[in-house]
Amino acid sequence: MAKKIAIGGDHAGFEYKGKLIQKLTSLGYEVKDFGPFSSASVDYPDFVHPLASAIEKDEFELGIVICGSGNGVAITANKHQGIRAALCWNEDLAALARQHNNANVLALPARFISYELAEKLSEIFLTTDFEGGRHANRVNKIACQ
């Protein structure tokens, strides 16, 4: 069964989001687009909160959020207790976000990385497993009690 991926962001990430949906679908992932659905200026929380809630409800395994800097979407997603969103701009960060932090949302900065790198980071993030072990105890301490 294909991994179910949630994807969303804002107007700055709109172009990358569309290309990533096509790429991920071609690789066999089941992808849901949470928006936006045009390049018109929007408020990213309107799209990221529903995406994060759906991941918390286990409707999707992982998510990808994209805005200009990646910060706004990451901050918004991380307001949800069950979300561990990681802002990544290189391959090592994308791998470590999964291996050590069990991140479940990848945040991409569309204005600071090429589309080709965004695609590579997404592939790394989606195919890298959490190592568990000593990292599991730390990850289990992240959510507020």
Q: Domains of the chain: which residue ranges?
A: 4-140
Among 67, 80, 135, 144, which one carries the catalytic annotation?
Answer: 67
pTM for the model: 0.96
Tell whether residue 41 is among the known ligand binding residues: no
Q: Are 111 and 89 in contact (CB under 8 A)?
A: no
The superfamily CATH assigns to domain 4-140 is Sugar-phosphate isomerase, RpiB/LacA/LacB (3.40.1400.10)
Question: Is-catalytic flag, 100?
Answer: yes
Which tens digits make up the pLDDT trace of 39-80?
999 999 999 999 999 999 999 999 999 999 999 999 999 999
Active site residue 135: no
Q: Which residue in 23, 27, 26, 32 sits closest to 4, CA to CA? A: 32
Helix (H) or strand (E) holding 103: none
| Residue 98 marked as a ligand binder | no
